[in-house]
Amino acid sequence: MTDGLTWPDEGLQRIPDWVYTDETVYHREVERIFHGRTWNYVALEAEIAKAGDFIRSNVGPTPVVVARDADGSIHVVENRCSHRGVEFCRELTGNVKEFVCPYHQWTYELNGALRAVPFRRGVAGKGGMPATFDLAEHGLRRLNVTTHRGVVFASYAEDMEPLAEYLGPDILREFEATFDGRSLRVLGHYRHTLPGNWKLYHENLKDPYHATLLHTFLVTFGLLVAGNRSLMLADASGRHGVMCSAKSDAKVAPELQTEMRAYKEGMSLAEPRFMDFIDEFDSPWSVTMATIWPNLIVQREMNTLGIRQIVPTGPHEFIMKWTMFGFEADNEAMTRHRLRQGNLMGPAGFLGLEDNEAIKFVQDGMQHVPDGRHLVELDPATETGTTDTLISEAAIRGMYRHWRNVMGL
């Protein structure tokens, strides 16, 4: 099935276009990655606080429902009736005692167990299910569930290692710096399509090189400049990463200005307070962007905090669902600060819209060029893994070392 999909001889310093465009590769990714040995983000516990609360979500492209049971436990089930495959849950969120498929009213417990089938014994002795039909064998497909610090993950793999082990100590530490134990308060969602391959989003956040060049906003206001204290962290497997940087009050050095076309001296904001960083975290970093394989980005951009959930819909497009949050203990002023700072990110964000456009342009560039390949050579001193220079693509190479291993390509 994957004949002709051969990796370039140069190794990880080249990425062939078919990685991003081939249908066969995409289907294998769904099977081996999203439905494979991974923990997939599905919800925040704050979104399903009470018994009976549910929220629709996805594991890879597959629709699921995340529900809170009466005993407080969390279930993740496929949003697909066992009978005729109906995507039965149609509300984005809600509160129910049971799930009822609207087509033939098959009724399920919140944990996915099939409770009742109408006319199971037929009518007047005729019709109905076979006598051997066992409700216990026809529940909704249930996924493995784990939670950490209010974040809910699901997996199709029954024997997944614990989340802490899956993340590794370095990534876990950064995860816990953002989810520091305070109760979360959901501030709302952004949802958008992105006409590019889903892996390009991971790569964009494993590519600190672009941040100083594409995002004028960051550079001009000293949020991120080449030479700022920074770290591109990767876990041992290469699949997870965290792009870290520390806000600097220093001005851009003259010798760096010429390298950064984006830099414009003397630009100033009418309302600069929206760029303030209120240091509320036990971390040396003011900005961390964690890419948690395969479908989660944790954004801690100073005080604007968000989850980004990747929902792939094919090789050429994915949906991104953002869940912006603060903390229950935030006062009104802090909540409004987070909301104002939210202008940086999301599909209309000063930085966010540029990332979406750039990723679209990459996908556009691969449409009509046979045997195209990408050049990923920055920072040869670090073949793969953690690096403390922003001018590096080592984390992207590390991700593909892992991907090729899982995909057998």
Partner 1 sequence: MQATYTDARLAALLLHHEIDQFNARYAAALDDQRLQDWVEMFADDAFYLVTSRENADQGLPVGLIYCEGKGMIRDRAFALEKTAMFAPRYLRHIIGNLVVTGEDADGDIRAHANYVVLQVLFDRPDATLHQIGRYHDVFRQTSDGLRLKERRCVYDNLLVPNALCIPV
Q: Which residues in 71-100 contact partner 1 (CB under 8 A)?
A: 92-93
Contact string (CB under 8 A) for partner 1, positions 267-306, x = contact: x-xxx--x--------------------------------
Q: Does 358 bind partner 1 (CB under 8 A)?
A: yes
Give 30's DSSP letter. Answer: I
Q: Which residue has the tokens 């990534």?
A: 171
Q: Does 342 bind partner 1 (CB under 8 A)?
A: yes
Looking at the Cβ atoms of 241 and 312, the one nearer to partner 1 is 312
Measured CA distances, 387 to 32, 118, 148, 172, 399 (Å): 28, 60, 27, 18, 14
For residue 198, the one-letter residue type is: W
Q: Does 102 bind partner 1 (CB under 8 A)?
A: no
Q: Does 265 bind partner 1 (CB under 8 A)?
A: no
Q: Report the distance separating Cα 116 and Cα 118, nearest Å.
A: 6
Q: Does 187 bind partner 1 (CB under 8 A)?
A: yes
Q: Which residue has the tokens 């709302």?
A: 188
Looking at the Cβ atoms of 241 and 352, the one nearer to partner 1 is 352
Nearest approach in angstroms of CB 222 to partner 1 is 14
Quick one: which of 175, 177, 186 has its CA closest to 46?
186
Q: Which residue has the tokens 């100590």?
A: 169
Displacement of CA 13 from its chain's centroid (Å): 25
Nearest approach in angstroms of CB 324 to partner 1 is 5
Q: Does 210 bind partner 1 (CB under 8 A)?
A: no
Q: Report the distance separating Cα 318 and Cα 195, nearest Å.
A: 7
- Among 37, 83, 189, 401, the residue binding partner 1 under the rule CB under 8 A is 189
Q: Does 357 bind partner 1 (CB under 8 A)?
A: yes
Q: Does 113 bind partner 1 (CB under 8 A)?
A: no
Q: Report the distance separating Cα 409 and Cα 404, nearest Å.
A: 5
Q: Report the distance separating Cα 58 and Cα 66, nearest Å.
A: 9
Q: Does 319 bind partner 1 (CB under 8 A)?
A: yes
Asked whether 128 and 119 are in contact (CB, 8 A), the reply is: yes
Q: Does 124 bind partner 1 (CB under 8 A)?
A: no
Nearest approach in angstroms of CB 262 to partner 1 is 7
Q: Does 217 bind partner 1 (CB under 8 A)?
A: yes
Q: Report the distance separating Cα 362 and Cα 355, nearest Å.
A: 11
Quick one: which of 34, 64, 27, 50 has its CA closest to 96?
50
Asked whether 219 and 208 are in contact (CB, 8 A), the reply is: no
Which residue stretch of 156-164, 173-181, 241-249, 266-274 sits at the interface with partner 1 (rule: CB under 8 A)? 266-274
Looking at the Cβ atoms of 174 and 301, the one nearer to partner 1 is 301
Quick one: which of 82, 242, 117 has its CA closest to 175?
242
Q: Does 209 bind partner 1 (CB under 8 A)?
A: no
Give the contacts of 283 (CB within 8 A, at least 6 positions apart): 174, 177
Looking at the Cβ atoms of 172 and 186, the one nearer to partner 1 is 186
Q: Does 362 bind partner 1 (CB under 8 A)?
A: no
> How many residues lie near partner 1 (CB under 8 A)?
43
Looking at the Cβ atoms of 228 and 356, the one nearer to partner 1 is 356
Q: Which two tokens stand for residue 377?
A: 């050579």
Q: Does 361 bind partner 1 (CB under 8 A)?
A: yes
Ranges of beta strands (E only) in 262-380 are 287-292, 296-301, 304-312, 318-327, 373-375
Q: Does 260 bind partner 1 (CB under 8 A)?
A: no
Looking at the Cβ atoms of 109 and 330, the one nearer to partner 1 is 330
Residues forming contacts to partner 1 in the complex (CB under 8 A) are: 92-93, 186-195, 214, 216-217, 220, 262, 264, 267, 269-271, 274, 319, 324, 335-336, 339-340, 342-343, 346-348, 350, 352-354, 356-358, 360-361
